[in-house]
Structure 1
Amino acid sequence: MYSKELKNGFVIKEVSQQELWSALDTHFNEAFSNRTDAKPTWQIDDASKEKIAGRQQSMVRYHLRLLVYSADNEVVGWHFGYSTDAETYYMQNSAVLLKYRNQGVYAEILTAALEVLGAEGFQVVTSTHHPNNAAVLIPKLKKGFVISSMLLHERFRLLVELKYFFSSERRKSFDKQMGLEFNP
């Protein structure tokens, strides 16, 4: 499993689903304390819930779960996501706890995730974000992600989709389709 020492005494490690969920149970609300939630106003009937759960269980997906620890073994942040198809990975959630922000930890998480995903042979990495989340958008744009679309989600509201292409040729093709030539 992936493990790497980072600057400032931090360590990033690939972890099991149980370890990730345990860390999220403890730290998720703190990491997203500024979030406002649009609670769903709809209900999913039990038969549909059962079918959805069955599909979720039967799908074989690649999952990546990373936790970042401080030198004293405290959780600092995380990343988790999954493959949406054989060549595309979706970065579902990443966060850094408030007291560890502005120390480059998110950029390190991003670098580590791309390192692992590239080694796994993924071609494209996608993610969605609130358009005013500069703390995530700026590091991703600096890393080479590009804005690929905007969408209005019924629960999470307006989101920006970003894509990262491991192949510069594929990125050039994407940019050309968007109307601009890619000049790295």
Structure 2
Amino acid sequence: MDSIPKNPLLEFNPDTLDYIRKKCNLHQPGRMKEAIKILDEWTKKQTHFKNKNIDPHYLETTIISCKGSMERAKAQIDSVCTFRTLLPTFFRRVNVKHDLGNLYDVVQPVILPKLTLDQNRVFLAKFYGAAFEASQFMDYYNFCIIIAEYLKVHDYLNGFVVFMDFTDINLMDFVTKLNPIELRQALAIFMVST
């Protein structure tokens, strides 16, 4: 890929592609194509993958998110495939407007369209109201995974800056409704999905 594909929701800095590739030591001509080819050949050899035809842009963003490490990129793809099989409730197909509609009553998640100067994407989440129910945590995890998968396919970034605002909720009530096992699983998925 010689340029970042245009996206109606995400904006990029003029130097994003060069900056990130240099940071990963993949800026010489042909290095990124070679890395994508190696990762693509590896995915096709994995007998336990259901889908072996992975989009080259997805492979590139995986390499970038792993800071140029092919071994980490392979482990990340393998982990995502494993999580999809072992934890299907986190990857359920949902219509965000209809199936997660009441989620917006208690949290307002936002991805900023512009990258920071060091090519990071900013994610904001404001939690409010005392009515946060235990079932809404899974909806929130699903929503965040959908966002992470969208960004993996369409974004080109150095990393994330995450802000969580809990000033308008009773934090003790909020924490008592958390399921620590689900939280741990969701965090593990977020770490390999981005």
Q: Larger RCO: Structure 1 or Structure 2 (Cα < 8 Å, ≥ 6 residues apart)?
A: 2
Q: Which is helix-richer, 1 or 2?
A: 2
TM-score normalised over the length of structure 1? 0.29
Q: Which is strand-richer, 1 or 2?
A: 1
TM-score normalised over the length of structure 2? 0.28
